[in-house]
Amino acid sequence: MTPAGTGGRTPGTPTAAPPVGATDEDRGAPDLRATVRDATDRLASPGSLDGIALLRLAADLDDAADRAARLLGARPDGGAAATLVDLGRLQRRVRRLEADRRFSTIGEIYASIGRLRRATTIRDLLDAAPRELGRSCGFDRAVVSGVHGSSWRAEAVWIDPAADPDTSASTRRYLTERWLPLRPGTLEVRLVQRRTAALVEADAPDVDAELVAATGTRRYVAAPVIAADRVVGFLQADRLDESPPLRPVDRDNLWTFAEEFGLVFERLALLERLDRRRGRVREVFAAADDALRALREDEVALVSTADEADASDPAGGDGGSEEVRMDLLSAREHEVLRILATGASNAGIAERLGIGEGTVRSHLARISRKLRASGRAALIARYLRITERRGTRGR
């Protein structure tokens, strides 16, 4: 019988210690069993695990399974094998939960897109998009960038309020205060060319080292924004401290968001373009209406004044009626007629007044109608006769 208080061992028997030459895996076996117990407890109430917590649990289980496999390879052991089996069972359960959450994330993405559709201007859309992207996909930082020619720049940045203030400030400064070139061989050029999302390692050769230094990112996901069959910008996102690490599913979620966001952007850009053109059309019609109204009033004045002149001068064509018709000319038409009387050509008149020759011809046509004279000589003669008559009366 084992004496009480000995924990099930014979008094004087030393506690079992790791064998001489034991590896880190040997010493880590109790940690693996603790991981199994912790994961089992957490999965007993999966509703308490949000998307980020589930990703972190999956990463912990993957790491533990790798360590268990190394332990079993180094020293075949029934306990290690059982632990590995338990870890595999937990991993499969987490994968099923992740698949369910993946569909849930898709639902959250479409809910975010629905809210973005309420934006009435492109500026409102750009300001709201990074926040919706971060919250629907579980990112800590999200950026909407615009492409202009051979450069790109962040148009809007969202950073989790819990992030380090210094990192947040440097990220905003770097992305929003400068245009970044689209250099051949860089990731951004690859996004434009391939038109698909990417999971990017910060130390990859095509990643901008300055961007990595300024933002402190270790890995991020990026996708092009396509509107009207053209890459108009990028979406970029990451998690601070890689907790949990970004995985291909995060890239796929970003791509889903980017595709839908591109359609919303294209629709709003089209509406804004239509509004601008509608405004221009209104201006054109308003100008045409003003011109027609002026022409109508001008014709009424011409007829009524001419009738009055004819009534007072039955002979018509000279005297008072000519002067009355001269008074119908606008200030610009008076200028044109005065320069014409000096013998200037249409080109000379246009140069003197700073207008086109076509405009000069239009003025002369209107002057001819108002003065009822045809030809340059007749116009000049009538002008000289009227000015001489008025000069005589003024003496």
Q: How many Cα atoms are found within 13 Å in the side-chain-facing hemisphere of 284?
A: 6
Tell me which of 4 and 269 has the higher pLDDT.
Answer: 269
Percent of the chain with pLDDT over 90: 24
Give 189's Cβ-side CA count (13 Å radius): 12
- 13 vs 146, more confident: 146
Where residue 105 falls among pLDDT bands split at 50, 70, 90?
Answer: confident
Q: What pLDDT score does 157 carry?
A: 94
Which is more confident, 311 or 118? 118
29 pLDDT tier (thresholds 50, 70, 90): low
Beta partners for residue 142, in sequence order: 158, 237
- The Cα–Cα gap between 127 and 130 comes to 7
0.75 exceeded by pTM: no
The b-or-e profile of 193-229 (16+ CB within 10 A means b, else e) is eeeebbbbebeeeebbeebbebbbbbbbbbbbbbbee
31: pLDDT strictly greater than 50: yes
pLDDT the model gives residue 6: 38
Q: Are 337 and 367 within 8 A, CB to CB?
A: yes
Choose between 13 and 197: higher pLDDT.
197
Starting at the edge strand that comes first in sequence, how are the strands of the sheet with 230-238 ordered? 180-181, 151-159, 141-148, 230-238, 219-227, 198-201
Q: Which value, to the nearest 10 degrees, does the dihedral of the CA atoms of residues 172, 176, 179, 182 take?
A: 60
Average pLDDT in the chain: 80
Within a 10 A sphere around the Cβ of 250, how many other Cβ atoms? Answer: 24
